[in-house]
Structure 1
Amino acid sequence: MEADTTAGKWYAPAAGRTTVGEWAEQWYTAGLSGWKPKTRHTYRSILDRLVVPALGHVQLIQLRPIQVREWVGDMAGRVGAEQVRQGYRLLSQVMASAVDNDMIPVSPCRGVRLPRTPQGEPHILTIDEVTRLADACEPGDRVLVLLLAYGGLRIGEALPLRRRHLDVDGGRVVVEFAVTELPGGPVIDTPKDHQRRELLVPAFVVEAVRRYLATVPDGPEVFVFPGRQKHTAARQQSYSGFRRRFRRAVAEVGLNDVTPHDLRATHASWVADSRGVMTAARRLGHANASVTTRHYARPIDERDAQVARHLDDLGAGRRSGTRRARKHRKGKS
């Protein structure tokens, strides 16, 4: 024990006897102030449904990698792959904090193979499809669709926009808040990564916004997209209501499997194709461009074929030049 203490490897037995459930609760309480409401809700749900019922009674010092692997295998038979991955990632955070606080020498969350989640591809729309979709919507929803497609906003960022966030004269949209739908009701907070950003939008979108704002009450704090009922007019409209109307418009114009989130991916693809991934990442509010390419931006249809034809033209020109040079050398000899 003295040697381990000198080497920094000794841990008080009482610390290790703390159970996973007790430490998870302490870890959760300590992190509450730094998490967004949706994160708090998600972590609480995962702990209560997946972690604590299965492992909460186990002492930290007694939890072994084999038990964690068995727990992951049991979850895989009951819940989807994404929930399995969420549960394991959260347990890994809890156990890493136990290591950092000298409760245990090493985390048991290691060497575990997690199930893969199917990666759904976003539906990237053409400009014509977005135009037809927007025209199939009523005025407020039409402006919302245009802001999603030509501004790249998240639907949760567009719904809580207030009049002061729309600079019509400057053609600018300020993204300052985001709304999250939780079981207890909607919660307005800062956007993901707490990033406030300003976006310039095309002139025709600005004009559509200008005409629509003439139908919305004055006042800088008035919601641009208020609730549809009298008792909800003082707050932003719900996502569920917009989604129902959006689905009807999608069906009306003959599109399939298009969601409001696809409009954000469409914007990312348009911008990345014309101005590069870094510009697309900035407009979407991503600190890392890899997030943009992994989840949003996709190659524009026919663009790969255009690149191949361009390279073929370059190669053909090079081959023609080589043949002319050879003929020239032969003629001189």
Structure 2
Amino acid sequence: MAGGRRRQLGGVDRLPSSRWRVRMFDPGTGRRVSLGTFKTKAEAERAFASATADQQKGTWVAPEKGRVTLDDYVWQWLDTRLTPRGERLRPKTRELYEGFLRLHILPTLGPVPLARLTTAGIRSWHAGLLADGPGASSVAKCYRLLRTILNTAVEDSLIVANPCTIKGAGVEPAEERLLPTLAQVGGLAAEVQPQFRALVLLAAFGGLRRGELLGLTRRDIDLLHRTVTVRVQRQETKGGHHLVGPPKTDAGRRTLVLPASLIPEIEGHLDEWVGPEPDAPIFAGKHGGPVRVVTWQREWTRARKALGLEGVRLHDLRHVAGTMAAATGASTKELMHRFGHASPRAALRYQHATAERDEAIADGIDRILEVSQRDGEADTNVIRFRDAGG
């Protein structure tokens, strides 16, 4: 019995060359595979004993699997990767990942077999990126992507353990940013072309993301109840293809109440710039279709440059909205609801902010704006909203 068992698992035998060969039974394929040859029988037996122990512990990796290079594996990973919601990677996400891989990961690590990726090698690659790469934030993103890919390689039994074990390497450094003042927001809203004024105001006082803003249609605006509903987001690939789909998380689908002082602005925008159809885009291009990202970005860049605010990002206006909402006394759960943040705690998914409190938050923002306008009567950049009466 012992001999039969040994033959099934493999063993050590001497070749005509006088070297000693080690073979193991691969339970994944049902075949015996070679672990290589050794000069002495003792070396071969040690290798066989080590591999047998690894099999018993469930940590053994067949040699041919370990020879798969990172370059070969990542494209298979991209093709089969699913999100936590069980969906394929979105084109924009894949485009981002491919950029990180081609520019920052594969040039150094691509030719390396998975089994030969070591923590020391990963640390050297990481240090090189920090020294000469795209910036600390992007380096952290690259490291997280590589770690995720290699976690899947562990699941696929291609490697025993993930070598990405550098503490803190995947953490993006906190970025200290000076948010634009309300006067600066008012200046930007006044500087952009009139058809984009409402976009700036919705970003700054509704807190919508760019993709959410560009995905809005007439049906998403309810002037009577002062609400805007985020159903989809619109993005654009580098090739100019429009991508429309639901927000990345369930929390992104939401209805929020707008400050009352913003409603005349939105109503005027609908009358002047939006078609009557329910699916007419809120922010349209020359021919009535959704405005292209490059068109908006060109105008946004011009306006910022004109005001000397080149460092202000559209996403900074979302932070302005968040800061004002927090100043009204909104709870963490209410802020999560209003701004579409997904919680890391599963229990919070089932806790919803009430419509009454969301309206109170919007009213609180109104009060902040009223004070700002009173205090800045002499400042031409203070936001002047349209009168509700026209």
Q: TM-score range by the shorter chain?
A: 0.7 to 0.9
Once the 2 structures are TM-superposed, how far is the Cα of residue 167 of structure 1 from its aligned partner?
Answer: 1.3
C-alpha separation between the residues in 2 aligned to 1:115 and 1:100?
20
Gaps of 5+ in 2: 1-50, 346-390
Once the 2 structures are TM-superposed, how far is the Cα of residue 204 of structure 1 from its aligned partner?
Answer: 2.5
Establish whether residue 54 from structure 1 lines up as the match of residue 111 from structure 2: no
C-alpha separation between the residues in 1 aligned to 2:253 and 2:198?
21
Maintained 8 Å contact 1:160/1:177:
yes
- Once the two structures are overlaid, the 10-residue window that deviates more, 216-225 or 135-144, is 135-144
1:1-333 equivalence runs, <5 A: 1-31=51-81, 33-80=87-134, 81-111=136-166, 114=169, 119-185=174-240, 186-194=242-250, 195-215=252-272, 216-228=274-286, 233-250=287-304, 257-278=311-332, 279-288=334-343
Once the 2 structures are TM-superposed, how far is the Cα of residue 263 of structure 1 from its aligned partner?
Answer: 1.2
Paired letter, 1:268: G
1:310 aligns to what?
A: none
Once the 2 structures are TM-superposed, how far is the Cα of residue 149 of structure 1 from its aligned partner?
Answer: 1.5
Once the 2 structures are TM-superposed, how far is the Cα of residue 113 of structure 1 from its aligned partner?
Answer: 6.6
Greater per-residue helix proportion:
1
* Residues 264, 50 of structure 1: alpha-carbon distance in 2 compared, 3 angstrom cutoff: same
Percent of residue pairs bearing the same amino acid type: 33
Once the 2 structures are TM-superposed, how far is the Cα of residue 251 of structure 1 from its aligned partner?
Answer: 5.8
With normalisation by structure 2, the TM-score equals 0.66
* Residues 79, 132 of structure 1: alpha-carbon distance in 2 compared, 3 angstrom cutoff: closer
The count of residues paired between Structure 1 and Structure 2 equals 286
C-alpha separation between the residues in 1 aligned to 2:117 and 2:310?
48
* Residues 105, 224 of structure 1: alpha-carbon distance in 2 compared, 3 angstrom cutoff: same
- Once the two structures are overlaid, the 10-residue window that deviates more, 269-278 or 30-39, is 30-39
> Helix, strand or coil for the counterpart of 1:34?
coil
* Residues 168, 34 of structure 1: alpha-carbon distance in 2 compared, 3 angstrom cutoff: same
* 1:25-83: CA deviation from partner (whole Å, max 9, x where unpaired): 22121116522222100111222223233222222212221111222233334322333
Maintained 8 Å contact 1:15/1:103:
yes
2:44 aligns to what?
A: none
Once the 2 structures are TM-superposed, how far is the Cα of residue 112 of structure 1 from its aligned partner?
Answer: 6.2
* 1:171-213: CA deviation from partner (whole Å, max 9, x where unpaired): 1101112222321113222223253111110222122211221
Maintained 8 Å contact 2:141/2:172:
no
C-alpha separation between the residues in 2 aligned to 1:191 and 1:115?
24
Maintained 8 Å contact 1:271/1:277:
no
Once the 2 structures are TM-superposed, how far is the Cα of residue 131 of structure 1 from its aligned partner?
Answer: 3.8
Once the 2 structures are TM-superposed, how far is the Cα of residue 285 of structure 1 from its aligned partner?
Answer: 0.5
Gaps of 5+ in 1: 291-333
Paired letter, 1:196: R
> Helix, strand or coil for the counterpart of 1:212?
helix
Once the 2 structures are TM-superposed, how far is the Cα of residue 132 of structure 1 from its aligned partner?
Answer: 4.5
With normalisation by structure 1, the TM-score equals 0.76
Maintained 8 Å contact 1:123/1:266:
no
C-alpha separation between the residues in 2 aligned to 1:98 and 1:287?
28
C-alpha separation between the residues in 2 aligned to 1:251 and 1:69?
40
- Once the two structures are overlaid, the 10-residue window that deviates more, 277-286 or 217-226, is 277-286
CA RMSD after TM alignment? 2.8
